[in-house]
Structure 1
Amino acid sequence: MKELIESLMEMGILASPRALKLLQTQDNPMEMVRHILRGRGETLFLEEEDIRRALEELGGNEEEKLELSVPQTVVVEKQSKVVEEKEEKEKSESTVMLRKKNTPPPAVSRYRPVAAEYEEDIKISGDITGKSLCEGKITDFTRYFIDRLNKLRDIIKRRPEMMHATSIRRAKRLDNKVSTIGIVSEVVSSEHGIKVIIEDEEDFIALFINKNSQVFKQAGTIINDEVIGVSGRVKLNRREPVLYPDAIFR
């Protein structure tokens, strides 16, 4: 539209909006304008009527031809697209049906356990070996851990550094360097170090291994229920004795 208006202005011609709209539908609007000028001489303003009269003189209404051709093209394209989609759908359905036809039915297992229709009826009458002394009570578990502690403590005491290891209760009262053995009941890691609680038959004590300690790496492998021996100094921390080990034995 802009180019058409500029071309008309170069020729010194103005046109009404309707005339411009009608001109724009033509394949060669400027040729149409020249035809009008040849027939009417100098024209400064074009009306819609001028364009329609020129169309009749040229032998047909190109606007009507254009308006008819566009919808027909769209309809043909839509019909073609619908046909293609239908063919594609039929092809897809045929492929699915063929696959279903060629797929063997799932295998059905005919296995059935002999006792499938019976509920379980299991009773534990006792120890068939006659050697079990455990009844599953708390005292049995306590006895088990104490026995385990005693056996592993004897093994750790064979080391020269732990020959004089004392009980945890006595170690908590000593100010000088002490050695003791216990079973691990808790391990807590923090940004400052590792806290370990060990206990024996009588008492418990907290160990603290600073991250700068020489045994910090070794302390990182300590786990619950492990029996360990430690040596170090006991200090009061918030009225509770804490052992700071400089050696850990297993």
Structure 2
Amino acid sequence: MNEDVPVDDPWAVLRASTQARIGLGRAGSSLPTRRVLEFAAAHAAARDAVHEPLDVESFGAAVAEVGIGTPVHVRSRAESRAEYLRRPDLGREPADLAGLAPDGSDVAVVLADGLSPRALAEHGAGMLRALVDALGEQYRIAPPVIATQARVALGDAVGEALGVTTLVVVIGERPGLSVADSLGIYLTHAPRPGRSDADRNCISNIHPPGGQSYANAARITAALVAGSRELGVSGVRLKDTAGPELLA
């Protein structure tokens, strides 16, 4: 009998409903060959997602089609992907903000490659469109900023340069062995360099169809934007009160 292919797998139904690795089985004292190969493929996909650079020209064209202005490209002080991974501090600082200036906008959206440029390439434009649909009638949104070799905190300098009250950073999340193309959204009220993670609200696991949808993430973001502007704070002092109905 081939132990790699169980005749009756009681975990099959549960495995079909989750991306987690459960009920892997065994072949002698080791894992079945199929599970070992699946792990290796997932690990390779995660590494590729980290190292594959964002095609800024192609992505910028998709972002421009959303219709809120021509995107501006900002780079961090990390000069290469290797340096970006070794020096997180350089990824938090923009190399140049000369192309940015206040225009009276309320909200700025930074589209950052983060640790998964693949996630931004696949979901960034769709997520931006959903944010515009959710926020556009209430707030003036600045032309989008595309940030490469970027960490979340780089957006603080961008938000300050644009003079906005609310900063929304859409960024590629750290790939895992189940998902390599997930986005996160970080919201900061009154952005400026020196803000800490305690000053931000995070919405994660955005990667339809397996993760959170663009529409749900945008509606939660809109509720947090409204709350932050009413209370004058974001982060640990601002709670997500959007309600479970948004997860339907």
TM-score, structure 2 as length reference? 0.23
Structure number with the higher strand fraction is: 1
Structure number with the higher helix fraction is: 1
The structure with more radius of gyration: 1
